[in-house]
Amino acid sequence: MLLHAREVIAAQAERDRPDEIAFIDALRIEDKVSGGLIPFALWPFQIEFVARLASLDRVFALKARQLGITWTVLAHMLYQGTFWGNRLFLVASQSGADAVDALHRLRILHGSIPEEWRPAKLVDNTEQIAFANGSRYEAGKATKRYGRGKAAYSSLADEFAFWEWPEDMLTSLDSASQRLYAVTTGNGPGDHAHRIWSDSEQGKGRWTTIFYPWSSHPGRDADWYRLNVTESPEPRLANREHASSPRDAFAAPAGVYFERWSDRNETEQGATPSWSTCRAVDFGRRHPACLWVQTSPAGQPIVVAEFAPAARAASAAMTTQEFVEHIHSIDCGLGVLTAPAITYCDPAGRAAEAQTGESQFEVFQRAGLNPVGQPSGIRDGCVKLFDLIADPDLPLLISKKCPWTLEAITTVTPDPHKPDLYDQAESSQYQHVLDALRYWAVNMRPAAPEDWEPMEAQPGPSQGMWGREW
């Protein structure tokens, strides 16, 4: 009998509860132009966004500025707490003032709920709003411990790319939340937001990512973009704020080094079995890098594979022998008919290592990797890369199967001390893979045979694979 009564009550609540879109459309929000309140009236992309929030536990929305995304998340959380009781909602902001503003927005939204749906408020202060049905909303500045000891139904990480310690702070909030919505504009390459985005693009991690460009706003057109971006005092920065793509959103504030790089330099193509292949290696102090570069019959170079453990800062350092084993493993998976004949390397690898008394070149030679490397200036390699990228007929291409190399070349900034070079700081996460690419650029067309002597290639672990000897 009691169970039947509960089912009747639940069925009645379902009939009385409006559709979420109808609920949000009935709300009002602040209008920055008039200073008054206007109907929410969700735009098409916001309706799609609400559906994602309702169905997913981890949503990362990367956005251009002023698209009403934060208002939309708060309205969704208000719906979750209006018709279901005893739920905790957390809003973590980049500053105390932003947290106060979040509660201010919730008050506006709550005050505009039609009377027959509106829950009574029991608490309303600078830190929280609590309803008579037990649901409550807390807002505060994000800290390393924010959310610990809490059990939130859903939480908003607002502009988390600009938090002081975004990785630690987001981890704390993540552990406290059944559902977590991260919303932010971009704050440059290589930060925690960028890593989450890159991992998701590769099918890694828990987050579902979505990007909303400036054009998502139905009131913006080509004239709006021209006035606000193209003709703005700082077009490059404006293009970052009103991004057209994730790459724009994650652009470095100081600009990127390889400015001539564009979509024409990217390809979906992987390794082609019949094309000649070489490797490019930076031994690195801790994290080495290796690229596989093919040349088309017409002479166009394409980076088709990568090994870059520096892509994950937590990866452990490896010995030269371990590096060789990784290279052989990727060689076997390329599916090419002929093994890569040459490995273009950092010439510093000719020096003997103190621990082993053996040079990295000698380890590579013994493994049949045929190391080649001639001395060159950093700028020499950069100039060659510029020329290859800008070649009008056969520009350098990088396959999208090499996400770390693409991220490096599209986001690395100029060196702050030598702006004619890319960032050379050892802490730069992109240095190793770009150095490998540079060694390939300066070595791929030796000036004359006497400049270097290729060492005799020896069969490695790939010997006999597919009935062929490498």
Are 436 and 280 in contact by the 8 Å Cβ rule? The answer is yes
Are 442 and 280 in contact by the 8 Å Cβ rule? The answer is no
Residue 37 lies in a domain: yes
Structure tokens at 69: 């995304």
In this structure, the number of other CB atoms found within 10 A of the CB of residue 268 comes to 7
Exposure on the CB side of residue 159, measured as CA atoms within 13 A? 18
Cβ burial, residue 275 (10 Å; 0-12/13-18/19+): middle
Residue 337 lies in a domain: yes
Structure tokens at 162: 């600009």
Closest by CA to 64, choosing from 321, 266, 250, 282, is 250
In this structure, the number of other CB atoms found within 10 A of the CB of residue 450 comes to 7
b/e burial code for range 392-429 (CB count within 10 A of at least 16 → b)? eeebbbbbebbbbbbbbbbbbbbbeeeeeebbeeeebb
Cβ burial, residue 366 (10 Å; 0-12/13-18/19+): middle
Residue 314 lies in a domain: yes
Question: Tokens 């590579």 identify what position?
Answer: 364
Q: Are residues 192 and 302 in the same domain?
A: no
Are 157 and 142 in contact by the 8 Å Cβ rule? The answer is yes
pLDDT at 446: 42
b/e burial code for range 170-187 (CB count within 10 A of at least 16 → b)? bebbbebbebbbbbbbbb
Q: Are residues 240 and 356 in the same domain?
A: no
Q: Are residues 313 and 449 in the same domain?
A: yes
pLDDT at 445: 60
CATH classification at residue 413: 3.30.420.280
Q: Are residues 207 and 145 in the same domain?
A: yes
Q: Among 218, 249, 280, where does a domain finish?
A: 249
Residue 4 lies in a domain: no
Query: How far is C-alpha 180 from the geometric centre of its chain's CA atoms?
Result: 18
Residue 332 lies in a domain: yes
Q: Are residues 314 and 462 in the same domain?
A: yes
Classified as helix, coil or strand, 90 is strand
CA 239, CA 252: separation in Å to the nearest integer?
11
Q: Are residues 190 and 303 in the same domain?
A: no
Which secondary structure element, helix H or strand E, spans residue 4, and what is its range? helix 2-16
Q: What is the DSSP string of 103-119?
A: HHHHHHHHHTS-TTTPP
pLDDT tens string, the chain, 470 residues long: the values are 444 444 543 444 555 789 999 999 999 999 877 778 999 999 999 999 999 999 999 999 999 999 999 999 999 999 999 999 999 999 999 999 999 999 999 999 999 999 999 999 999 998 999 999 999 999 999 888 888 888 999 999 999 999 988 898 999 999 999 999 999 999 887 788 988 998 898 888 899 999 999 999 999 999 999 999 888 887 878 888 899 999 888 887 767 888 888 889 999 999 999 999 999 999 876 778 999 999 999 999 999 999 988 665 545 578 889 999 999 999 999 999 888 989 999 888 888 876 777 899 999 999 999 999 888 888 888 899 999 999 999 999 999 999 989 988 988 888 888 888 888 776 677 889 999 999 999 988 643 333 434 434 434 444 333 333 33
Closest by CA to 279, choosing from 189, 361, 341, is 341
CA 313, CA 404: separation in Å to the nearest integer?
13
252, amino acid identity: A
Enter the pTM of the model.
0.69
Q: Are residues 352 and 277 in the same domain?
A: yes
Residue 259 lies in a domain: no
pLDDT at 63: 96
CA 82, CA 130: separation in Å to the nearest integer?
11
pLDDT at 251: 80
Q: Is the dihedral of CA 161, 162, 168, 172 positive or negative?
A: negative
Please state the domain count of the chain: 2
Q: Are residues 357 and 448 in the same domain?
A: yes
pLDDT at 312: 55
Q: Are residues 221 and 327 in the same domain?
A: no
pLDDT at 378: 87
- Phi/psi at 315 (5° precision): -65, 140
Tell me the C-alpha to C-alpha distance, in Å, between residue 158 and each of 166, 218, 379: 11, 23, 41
Structure tokens at 164: 């002081």
Residue 3 lies in a domain: no
Q: Are residues 61 and 91 in the same domain?
A: yes
Q: Among 249, 284, 314, where does a domain finish?
A: 249
Beta bridge partners of 156: 91, 181
- Sheet containing 266-267: order of strands: 266-267, 397-399, 301-307, 289-295, 276-282, 343-345, 371-372
Q: Are residues 288 and 322 in the same domain?
A: yes
Residue 459 lies in a domain: yes
| Residue range of the domain that includes 299 | 264-467
Q: Are residues 214 and 305 in the same domain?
A: no
CATH classification at residue 162: 3.40.50.300
Which secondary structure element, helix H or strand E, spans residue 9, and what is its range? helix 2-16
Q: Among 249, 276, 304, where does a domain finish?
A: 249
